[in-house]
Amino acid sequence: MNLIHKTLLVLCLFSLSQLTLATAVEGLYSATVEVADQSRSQRQQGFSQALADVLIKTTGTKDIAARPGVSQALSQASNYMVKYAYLPQSDAGSVDTQASSGFLLSVQFARAAVDELMRTLDLPIWPSNRPQVLVWVVEQTRSGGYRFVDTDDLPRRLEESFQRRGLPYQLPLYDLDDQLTLNAVAAWSLNQRQLQSAAKRYGADHWLVLRYSPLSSGELRGSWYLAGSTGDFSGNGALLNTLQAASTNEFLNISVDQVADRFAQQMTYFANVEANLFRLVVDNIGSFADFTQLDHFLEGLQIVNGIHVRSIEGDTLVLDLVTEGDSRVLLRALNKEPRLSRVTQMVTTDVVELPASSSAPSISPPSTSFEHFRWQAAR
């Protein structure tokens, strides 16, 4: 988030809690790319490629270089850089270095500078608070049977594809509990009941089945199936898409790209020229520790540009949040936070004006939403 302007009624002498947001994706503002040598020209090309990779993750847009103004920004990538280093090939991480004689260039960019670039170029913004996807990979063998492709047999491209798009994922353990709950035939058949039961132990909000079978031509025919704990995806039902690919790597890469595109379509926002006002009522704030944890969580949301404490009555806190995007994006983040449970949606028709002394951005006229949540402190 950019600079947060807050007007607090109390607590000005206390420091904020150090609690971090567990669901925030790390590494969105860094990238590792391969360069031919350590010359200045190769280094500059590496900076440009690394910035493009960062923008793909932070905007949710894989063809980001085609957007207006991005090409010029990429040519000046060093302006957004914090530090860089050359890594040994053994530290490749998500970079495939097989049969490579080049060098690995690791680049860290300034978050504030990249965020400002996205706003200046009117690029979509994908907040770092993203869902983790549980992934099953199922293969139909040439003999007509079915098997799970577990960690030892998975191509590295699966991990690379998820990391490249900034989408966290998890693989099943495939232990005895998993085997008793879901077999490869049920996964291939997309048995919703068994998939949901198997996903429950992992606490997954969404799960993905990647299934494929070899063709006589040597290519693959496959499909991906995306669903969730509520049996739907963003109100549009479970998603199923079929495709054909030349190899397993290509199938995995295309599938992950298409799934990441679906999430990005639902979760990205554009920074508004005019700010919106989101009124948040939170009850069960029984201590200063509760307040600081809530405050720290809200500060970590990129869509929030300002926080103003409107009132405190007993254990109920009323906050006015100045947001720069669609309130639905903020509401998804609030619903995702396990310490907040939604009580009800409230409707208000009054126009709220922040005090003249507040340093929060001016709002004229504000668009106001009103939501009520209950705080459940971490045990």
Q: What are phi and psi of 280, to 5 degrees?
A: -120, 120
DSSP letter string, 196-212: HHHHHTTT-SEEEEEEE
Lowest mean pLDDT among 94-103, 223-232, 327-336: 94-103
pLDDT band for position 274 (50/70/90)?
low
Which distant-in-sequence residues (6+ apart) come within 8 Å of 66 by Cβ? none
- What is the per-residue pLDDT for 175? 94
| CA atoms of 212 and 231, how far apart (whole Å) | 23
pLDDT at residue 351 is higher than 80: no
> Could you report the per-residue pLDDT of 45-65, keeping only the tens digit for each?
999 999 999 999 999 999 999
Closest CA to 364 of 280, 275, 303: 275
224 in helix, strand or coil?
strand
Q: In what order do the strands lie in the sheet with 316-323?
A: 5-7, 304-313, 316-323, 276-283, 368-375, 340-346
| CA atoms of 275 and 326, how far apart (whole Å) | 10
| CA atoms of 41 and 281, how far apart (whole Å) | 54
- What is the per-residue pLDDT for 358? 39
Question: What is the signed CA dihedral for 114, 115, 121, 125, rounded to 10 degrees?
Answer: 120
Report percent pLDDT > 70 for the chain.
Answer: 80
Lowest mean pLDDT among 14-28, 188-202, 255-269: 14-28
> Could you report the per-residue pLDDT of 88-103, keeping only the tens digit for each?
876 555 555 444 568 9
> Could you report the per-residue pLDDT of 137-160, keeping only the tens digit for each?
999 998 889 999 988 888 888 999
pLDDT at residue 350 is higher than 70: no
pLDDT at residue 373 is higher than 50: yes
Task: Tell me how many degrees the CA angle 346-129-315 measures, rounded to the nearest 5.
Answer: 40
| CA atoms of 231 and 195, how far apart (whole Å) | 10
Q: Give the start-to-end residue ranges of the domains of the chain.
A: 5-22+270-375, 30-109, 133-267
The gap from C-alpha 55 to its chain's centroid, in whole angstroms, comes to: 13
pTM for the full model?
Answer: 0.75
Closest CA to 178 of 199, 203, 192, 158: 199
| First vs last C-alpha separation in the chain | 27
> Could you report the per-residue pLDDT of 63-93, keeping only the tens digit for each?
999 999 999 999 999 999 999 999 987 655 5
| CA atoms of 316 and 282, how far apart (whole Å) | 6
Closest CA to 129 of 318, 331, 369, 280: 331
- What is the per-residue pLDDT for 345? 55
Which distant-in-sequence residues (6+ apart) come within 8 Å of 372 by Cβ? 281, 282, 283, 342, 343, 344, 345, 346
Lowest mean pLDDT among 141-145, 167-171, 299-303, 361-365: 361-365
For residue 90, the 8-state DSSP code is G
| CA atoms of 325 and 25, how far apart (whole Å) | 20
| CA atoms of 146 and 137, how far apart (whole Å) | 11
Is 363 within 8 Å of 351 (Cβ atoms)? no
pLDDT band for position 352 (50/70/90)?
very low
- What is the per-residue pLDDT for 87? 92
Task: Tell me how many degrees the CA angle 171-176-179 measures, rounded to the nearest 5.
Answer: 70
DSSP letter string, 152-204: TTS-THHHHHHHHHT--EE----SHHHHHH--HHHHHTT-HHHHHHHHHTTT-
Q: What are phi and psi of 177, to 5 degrees?
A: -60, -45
Domain with residues 133-267, CATH architecture: 2-Layer Sandwich (3.30)
Backbone Cα Rg of the chain: 23
- What is the per-residue pLDDT for 303? 87
Q: Which residue has the higher pLDDT, 342 or 31?
A: 31
Tokens 């409107």, residue located:
310
pLDDT at residue 23 is higher than 60: no
